[in-house]
């Protein structure tokens, strides 16, 4: 069966860094767009970053210049390096996989598989 699993969340102070990892099983992750989304309490889920199946990267304006998405060195992993974290980055972070067309790559509704989420909390 297809499974995605996130790791690396935690509680850190503003200005610090975290590195999240998404590990896929049951699929070859290089054949999918792998995206990161986040959802804060009372807020709708929002796009954060994605690496396409052709390995192009795209970012939300709110994280551009601070976050970096990459296909990891470990087999079937995608990492999200988060630097200069801000309290407004606090959310549950999810990774997801999609084979949708490139024009829909930021749309969470186009993702077929989702991880369980990992909590990221940034204190001020």
What torsion do the CA atoms of 51, 123, 121, 69 make, to the nearest 10 degrees? 10
Question: Per-residue pLDDT averaged across 48-77, rounded?
Answer: 94
How far from 74 is each of 32, 66, 70, CA to CA, in Å? 16, 23, 11
Q: Is the pLDDT of residue 77 over 90?
A: yes
Residue 28: band (very low, low, confident or very high) from pLDDT cuts 50, 70, 90? confident
Q: Is the pLDDT of residue 11 over 90?
A: yes
Q: Is the pLDDT of residue 14 over 90?
A: yes
Q: What is the pLDDT of residue 100?
A: 87
């Amino acid at each position: 069966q297809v499974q995605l699993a996130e790791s690396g969340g935690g509680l850190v102070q503003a200005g610090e860094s975290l590195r999240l990892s998404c590990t896929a099983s049951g699929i070859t992750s290089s054949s999918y767009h792998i995206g990161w989304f986040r959802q804060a309490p009372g807020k709708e889920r929002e796009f954060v970053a994605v690496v396409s199946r052709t390995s192009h990267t795209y970012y939300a304006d709110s994280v551009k210049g601070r976050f970096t998405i990459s296909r990891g060195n470990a087999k079937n992993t995608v990492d999200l390096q988060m630097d200069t974290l801000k309290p407004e980055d606090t959310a549950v972070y999810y990774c997801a996989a999609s084979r949708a067309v490139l024009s829909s790559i930021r749309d969470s509704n186009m993702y077929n598989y989702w991880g369980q989420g990992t909590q990221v909390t940034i204190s001020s």
